Amino acid sequence: MATVTILGAGDMGFAISTPVSANGHDVRLWGTPIDAEIIETLRAGGVHPRMGTAVRPGVRLFSPDEAAAAVEGADIVLFAVTSVGIRPIVEQFAAKLLHVPVIMTIAKGFDPGPDGDAILLLPEVIAERTSSPIVGVGGPSKANEVARGIPTGIVFGGPGEAAEFCADAFRTPAYNVEVTDDIVGVEVAAAMKNAYAIALGVSDGLEKATGVPHHNFRAALFPRAVQEMGKLAEALGGRAETVAGRPGAGDLQVTISSGRNRLLGERIGAGEPGPQAAAALREAGITVEGYDALGFGHRLARSLEDPATGHPLRLPLLEALYAVLHEGAPAAEALWSAV
């Protein structure tokens, strides 16, 4: 039996406690200050406010001020916070991370570095503070389904032995875990699929605006998006093959079926200029992860070479999406020109 500490009791942190607790492990779910009320509700026997299910047997709850106890002696510590939450939580636990055998992250996105001008994958942020092996999680994984034990197939990416150790801890009949050593491919896809989901969501807005479905439009963008994520992964030392599997094609498929990224695309497709639609969601307090990922990914791509050609990396669909969201380019025309 392993001791597994999950840092973050938001949607995904709570959800992933389902498979690992089903395996009989000692699971500790720690709430960040943002999750304080969630922990209280769960302790009182209530259901998670967004996931709608109660905490599973075998999961012990830790409130924000019980951080030290939560990680004490853990075999695996899993970061399940937002991308902007990674750096402060890593800092908070820095002294403890040195001694954790394996660290996992299910957070998706990029980090701007301590000075705000870098573009780091989230495992790189964790690696600043520990030399323990790090395992990243990717693949199509709606949290509410994971929480309910609906069949879910994901990928753990990291050094062989560590990734296998984590896979053994989390794998259940309903939670199907593949393992890869290509953590770069997993993390690039996990972050960038949110950006591309905005582009594909535009088709829903075009349907709204015209009364005619634009399914062909969306489906033509789909393989292009997967291809570009693969190129970005390759330029960073990962593999396109990883992206073509669960973390890229699989996760993009589920991401375009609902969610905030798709919603932003829908508003733009329906006629709202990109910068205005993005600002409206921001002002409504709605974080669109793909919007930030687009900014990072766009800047990152401009700094890289295509390893196949030695020329600057060209990702036309990402460029077009950037033009739509940051320069107000007309969405249908701009995206279609990059298909």
- What H or E segment, with its residue span, contains residue 134? strand 134-138
Interaction mask 258-277, a copy of itself, x per CB under 8 A: x-------------------
By CB under 8 A, the residues from 194 to 213 that bind a copy of itself are 212-213
- Asked if 148 touches a copy of itself (CB under 8 A), the answer is yes
Interface residue with a copy of itself, options 169, 226, 235, 300 (CB under 8 A): 226
Is there a catalytic annotation at residue 142?
no
Interface residue with a copy of itself, options 12, 121, 313, 332 (CB under 8 A): 332
Q: Residue 82, by phi and psi: left (phi above 0), alpha (psi -120 to 50) or beta?
A: beta
Rounded to an integer, what distance in angstroms lies between the CA atom of residue 262 and that of residue 128? 33
**Closer CB to a copy of itself, residue 99 or residue 215?**
215
The number of beta carbons lying within 10 Å of the beta carbon of residue 329 is 18
Which region among 28-36, 74-82, 247-255, 302-310 touches a copy of itself (by CB under 8 A)? Answer: 247-255
Work out whether the CA dihedral 285, 291, 296, 299 comes out positive or negative: negative
Catalytic pick among 96, 108, 193, 231: 193
Rounded to an integer, what distance in angstroms lies between the CA atom of residue 183 and that of residue 245? 13
User: Helices 215-235 and 289-302: crossing angle, nearest 10°?
Assistant: 50
> What is each CA distance from 225 to 104, 120, 170, in whole angstroms?
27, 21, 30
Pair 274, 331: CB distance under 8 Å: yes
- Asked if 19 touches a copy of itself (CB under 8 A), the answer is no
Question: Please, what is the minimum distance in Å from the beta carbon of residue 66 to a copy of itself?
Answer: 31
- Asked if 214 touches a copy of itself (CB under 8 A), the answer is yes
Question: Please, what is the minimum distance in Å from the beta carbon of residue 51 to a copy of itself?
Answer: 12
Among candidates 294, 211, 180, 196, which has minimal Cα distance to 254?
196
How many residues line the site for a copy of itself (CB under 8 A)? 42
Q: Which residues contribute to the site for a copy of itself (CB under 8 A)? A: 139-142, 144-146, 148, 150-154, 173, 176, 212-220, 222-223, 226-227, 244-246, 248-251, 253-254, 257-258, 332, 336, 339
Catalytic residues: 193
